[in-house]
Amino acid sequence: MDLYNVENRLMILECLRENSANMRIEQANLRDRITQALVRARTSLLCIRQLNIELQEMKLTVDNALANDFQDLADYDGPEIDEISENILEQPTIEVLDETAQESPNGASPDQLNENDTGIR
């Protein structure tokens, strides 16, 4: 290729001009995609912060409720204190077992399902 030839120089300059125009377009597209990603990231961050605040409020509410329950329990001097303590500790387990039994096929208890389950599906 003869670099002193005017036609060759014009062709090279045209290619360089086209390359620079394409690079500007690619950079503008990249800038737009980065901007959109930043907007989505900021939105997600705001949602996460809001959820964190709500979670802290829920934790505080639960802690206060537990403190009140334990304070009420500590203040109570009746003879049924052991029975009340056992009921409090057993209650979540009973609810979970009841829900599991309702979901089991043919009304079988979770224990029966475990005994009859062969592990083959």
Q: Say yes or no: 71 and 91 in one domain.
A: no
Determine the structural domain holding residue 108 and report its residue range: 81-116
Distances (CA, A) of 16 to 3, 9, 11, 20: 15, 10, 9, 6
Q: Say yes or no: 59 and 9 in one domain.
A: yes
Q: Say yes or no: 30 and 66 in one domain.
A: yes
Q: Say yes or no: 95 and 54 in one domain.
A: no
Give tens-digit pLDDT for 58-92: 999 999 998 887 777 667 666 566 666 666 666 65
- Residue 9 CB contacts under 8 Å (≥ 6 apart), including other chains: 3
Q: Say yes or no: 52 and 109 in one domain.
A: no
Give tens-digit pLDDT for 8-31: 999 999 999 999 999 999 999 999
